Every structure is written in C-alpha cells, then in structure tokens.
Amino acid sequence: MPVFQHTATYEASAEDVWAWYDSPGAFRRIMPEWEGIQPVEAGALVDGAKTRFRIRLGPLRPMWVARHHGVVPGEVFCDVMEKGPFGAWDHEHRFVANQDGTCNIKDTVQWRLPFHPLTFWTAPFTVKGRLNQMFAYRTLRVQQDLERIAAFADQPRQSILISGSTGLIGMQLCAFLAAAGHRITRLIRPSTTLPPDAAQDAVVVWDDQTGEVLEGDLNGFDTVIHLAGAGIGDKRWNAKRKEIIRTSRTVPTNHLARLLANLERPPATFLCGSAIGFYGNRGDEVLDETSTAGENLLAEICQAWESAAQPAIDAGLRTVFLRTGLVTTPMGGALQKLLLPTNLGAGGPVGGGKQFYSWISLDDQIYAIHHLMMTAACEGPYNLTAPTPVRQKAFAKALGKVMRRPWFAPAPGFALRIMFGEMGQALVLDGQRVQPTRLLESGYTFAHEDLESCLRQCLGRQRLG
C-alpha cells in the first residue's frame, strides 16, 4: 500500500504532548477548519475505542469510523479505518522524546483508494495535497496550543462554566480549555441540543429569559464565560429580529450577572461577550478601548449588553468584556459566506471597498479569551481584533489571492442594501478601524497579525517547503 510519512517537532515534553492528544478536546482542535468535519464521537486513547465523524466529499457526508489499536500510553497509538471513503487506512502516531526535552511525533499512514488499481493515478490530486496541508495545519495547531497552555502552566486548572458553548467560538473554546486541563461545564437552555461528541458533558440548565436555574448549581466555578446570543447575520433584520438580537444578549446577561452576584461561592472572574459594533460606523478613525461608543443600532445593543453585566461588577467580580471583531474562519461567520462568491470570481470590493474590516483569526479569538481568563490583572473592555485591520478591498484581494480567484469584480453598495436591508449596511458597508491596545498591553502575542497567513492556514492553502 502507499505510505505517507510526516514528522513534527514540538517544544514540549512527550508527556505533555501525549496529554494534549489524550484530552477530550483534542479531536475538535486537530480537525482542519476547511474540511467541514463533523465530530460524532471522540474515542479515548485506549485499545478498541472508536472515533466517529462525518467528512465532506462534495455533496456527500459519509461517516468515518476509526478504531484505536496498538496503544502504548505515552509512546504510540494507531487508528485503523473500519468505515470510510478509503479502501484502507491505518495511521500510526509515534511519540519520541528527545534529549533536549522536546518531542517528535512521527506519523505513518498506510492507505489505499477504493478500486486502487484503477484510481491510484488520481492520488496526487485527491489525497497527497490534502494530507500535506492537513498535517501542516495539525502541526501548527498543536504547537500553538501547547505554547498557550505552557504560558500559564504555573497556575492551577480551573472549573469553568460556559454559555453559548454550541456556537462557532464556544465549541472551539470548550475544546481548547479541555485540552488545557480545565474542567468544563456547559450552561444551556432546555431546548439546547449538544453536538454528539459533547452529549455527555456536564451541564447546568437554565431559563435564560427568566433567570431560573432548572438543573445543577452555579456555585463553585472559578470562571464563567458568557457567549450566548442570537446570530446577528443569520437572518434579514426586521423589527422582530432586531428585538431578538437585543434581548438574547441583554436579558440573559443581566439575569446571569445577578445570579452570580448573589451566590454563596461566586466565581472570581466573569467574561462577557460583546462586539466592536460598540463603536458604530466610524470610517477611518482609529479606535481603541478608550474610544466613545457609537450611535447606530449595533452600538446601542453593545452598550446595553455590557451595561447588563453591572450587577457582577458591583459584586466585585472581575468582569471582562470581549469586544470581538470579524472572526475569520471557513467554519462560519463572514468568511464562510464569502467563499462561494469568491470561488465564482465575484468576491471583489463591496460598496467601494474603503470600509475597514477589523478581523481576528479563530485561533487568536480562543487564545485571547484564555489569556484574559488566566491574567488576573485584566478587567474591563478588551478589543479582540488583530492589530492590522484592513480595508474591505484589501480583504477581498487577500482572499482572492489565497484562493487563486479574481478579486476585482465589484458589488455596488445599493445592491447589498436591496438584498439585505439594514443588516447589509451594518455588517458589510459600515466599518471600524479597531486596535487591540489593551490586549497587547496585557502581554498577549498574536498567532496571526497578517491576514494572508491567517487565510492560508484556515483554508488549507499554506505554502509548504
């Protein structure tokens, strides 16, 4: 059978790297963002444990079932495909401790395509390029995770309650924090359906519109991270939708802040979601956390959102507001919506392209939240954006370059207003030139300051030597 081999070196001990791989969050963290993989079950690193996930093959979503075997804790584990798109697949992960305290992982994959005597010639197009990109992505993701975990290795692991845990950011945040050794509990509503691989996770159930805790206890957590809220760009705005966007943020935040303030054993830290929409549409003005609030709808919602957390501040909880920018990942948000028009050659400047996009990679979004959680001196608002905001025209150009598609076909602003109304104006045509001043001053270092490098990693288009 054909054999694929890859060796990666990590600036961490074999024990720490094995612990990362053996964590409940590792499988979600290691899956490439562009592949559209849907985890169903993440098996532990023991013989016979099975991992199940759905992959994307054009319009199809076949199931991949892998069984672990040959497990020697701290040294090696293998997974063999029992069901999936390949004719055969057997993957050995071997952990090698180096004398300088680092660790190598040597991956060896024996694989075969279905009908291999007829299809082997397609491998350079269908298999080898994807494997090279996948392992390059995996190497960088694991190394970055280990570095961020090591930065706070001297601090105790925390018990963390997270709302909005089934969202784009929440799912990856839970996975990373679990890989870092923290104990995760999800704050959910009775109607929430957890993804299959998280169905056994600890939960606290509440009615977010009344503040009633229906199952579990809010006492005893070290940190509460509140990310829940209706999607801003999911549906066209009308009066009803705008009210849902507002109340899904302000009402639960106020209820949760009041509940936490009155606990016998309250958390030390409360991290609350917010957005750079706080600043409104400000053109070329450079904005940081000292800038005044804006005056449009999103600015008003963000102000009310942050004000709703006041009971937690009054009770002495260290409260941090996460003013998030444009989270850049093909798994959701704006980038996901831009992929199709860009592939069709229609991803050019929108409304002139002069408006600023203050973006942040999904990795930096997760790492920044972790940094703010673990840094006791951090309190108040923090802009979660890369320090290099770009004009929309430059964003389109970078995306077109990475995807090898033309980027100059313009979309007039009036067309966006006709198609999406007020939402199109606020989310696409308006802009903010935001700087993460306080985040940088707190000692945070970005994984992605450059937009093109971010796009290449998350879209599987890295330049490989």
Cβ proximity of 286 and 435 under 8 Å? yes
Same domain? 93 vs 168: no
Query: Is position 209 within any domain?
Result: yes
Same domain? 258 vs 128: no
In DSSP notation, 385-414 reads: S-S--EEHHHHHHHHHHHHT------B-HH
Give 114 or 424, the one with higher predicted confidence.
Answer: 114
Same domain? 96 vs 219: no
Give the separation between CA 40 and CA 21, rounded to whole angstroms: 17
Q: Give the orientation angle of helix 392-403 with respect to helix 333-343, to 10 degrees.
A: 60
Same domain? 143 vs 166: no
Query: Is position 465 within any domain?
Result: no
pLDDT reading at 420 higher than 70? no
Task: Determine phi and psi for 64, rounding to 5 degrees.
Answer: -110, 125
Query: Is position 218 within any domain?
Result: yes
Same domain? 98 vs 166: no
Same domain? 92 vs 164: no
pLDDT reading at 359 higher than 80? yes
Same domain? 306 vs 325: yes
Cβ proximity of 43 and 29 under 8 Å? no
Query: Is position 27 within any domain?
Result: yes
Same domain? 78 vs 196: no
Mean pLDDT, residues 413-419 taken together: 66
Give 323 or 412, the one with higher predicted confidence.
Answer: 323
Same domain? 426 vs 400: yes
Domain end marker among 108, 132, 150: 150
How does pLDDT run across 106-159, given as a tens digit for each residue?
A: 999 999 888 776 566 666 666 888 899 999 999 999 999 999 999 999 999 999
Could you tell me which residues come within 8 angstroms of residue 257 by beta carbon, excluding any fewer than 6 positions away?
Answer: 270, 272, 308, 309, 310, 311, 312
Strand partners for 112: 88
Same domain? 121 vs 179: no
Q: How many domains does one find in the chain?
A: 2
CA 313 to chain CA mean position, Å: 27
pLDDT of 358:
96
Give 427 or 391, the one with higher predicted confidence.
Answer: 391
* CATH number of the domain to which 56 belongs: 3.30.530.20
Query: Is position 289 within any domain?
Result: yes
**Residue found under tokens 């094995």:** 18
Domain end marker among 127, 150, 173: 150
Domain containing residue 419: 159-458
Same domain? 129 vs 34: yes
Same domain? 184 vs 317: yes
Query: Is position 421 within any domain?
Result: yes
What average pLDDT does the chain have? 92
How does pLDDT run across 306-358, given as a tens digit for each residue?
A: 999 999 999 999 999 999 999 999 998 888 888 888 888 888 888 888 999 99
Nearest to 149 by CA among 385, 458, 371, 361: 371
Confidence of residue 1 (pLDDT cuts 50, 70, 90): confident
Domain end marker among 110, 129, 150: 150
pLDDT of 353:
87
